[in-house]
Structure 1
């Protein structure tokens, strides 16, 4: 399908797949910073662009042998992790649990273990960020894109015109 897309559209798709941020992808693809938000939104509405994004996402999912459910389950492990999964506290000291006895799901929440000034340090992945990603994946947020998508075309066109006029001042 890539043959039907122009060079800038192809670059936008490549950039969009990095972080799923249409505005940033549009800027990295060479669109003006002033119009990147509008351009990104309009590009995502183009059938050829959206179909290519879906195709490449499916290709990536097959290649990685991952699906959305697996990713969300991994994020749930991160969001649900607590420090007592990894250390015991007897009131005066901390002792690491035997990591060989911990499940793969529990260990997925560990970002790093390193030697610090006062001994071993364990850092877990950010629970808030994981929770945020879960909510996005399950539709727990209403985004500006959700609202824009529900606008009648004539109202959306009016808003885009108004925005462009303000940006060009």
Structure 2
């Protein structure tokens, strides 16, 4: 196995950050204008693939996470029901079960004061952003090979047929 260059190794490390090959190439100091092409080239390299696999295994070991754990978590996200968190106060949100709180990816609390009929009213508004269900389902599909059949259908099966010119040219 050929040794990776420092820049290739950096690409692998950057790829592990968000699994975005184009951004990883840019962060590894490849030219931004050709980053996408370079990323495709790098990912096609067996040595790069081996290094990425090694880094993924190391990350799994460090975190003590199995593929089954990941798929279970993604399935929880994809099948979650966020209505349990609608209309709750900040304190009520803090008291939600951990499984529900882990679905929250963004939180914004604002307090509004206004006057109605001469009385000052204070209203707490809680905006919650939840994990993206479509992304979770897409990740499950990728992990389980759901798209592989579609990918096989998209291979370039080009058949060239040479027709006689019949004296036309």
TM > 0.5 fold call? yes
Instruction: For residue 128 of structure 1, report the CA deviation from its aligned partner.
Output: 3.0
Q: Tell me if the contact between 1:26 and 1:40 (Cα under 8 Å) persists in the aligned partners.
A: yes
The CA deviation at 1:22 is 1.8
Structure 1 vs Structure 2 CA RMSD: 3.5
Q: Which moved more, 1:39-48 or 1:54-63?
A: 39-48
Residue 14 of structure 1 pairs with residue 20 of structure 2: no
- Alpha-carbon distance change, 83 to 53 in structure 1, aligned in 2, over 3 angstroms: closer
SS at match of 1:119: strand
Q: Match for residue 25 of structure 2?
A: 26
Larger radius of gyration: 2
| Matched residues, number | 144
Q: 2:31 aligns to what SS in structure 1? A: coil
Corresponding position: 1:66 with 2:65: yes
Q: SS where residue 59 of structure 1 aligns? A: helix
CA distance in 2, matches of 1:12, 1:112: 29
Which structure is higher in helix share? 1
**In structure 2, distance between residues paired with 1:141 and 1:13:** 24
Match of 1:136 in 2: 142
Equivalent in the alignment of 2:115:
none
Which digits, 9 at most, give the CA deviation of each residue in 1:87-130, with x for residues without a partner? 5xxxxxx4569669854333321335554343262623233333
- CA distance in 1 between counterparts of 2:18 and 2:99 reads 25
- Please give the TM-score of this superposition, normalised by the length of structure 1: 0.64
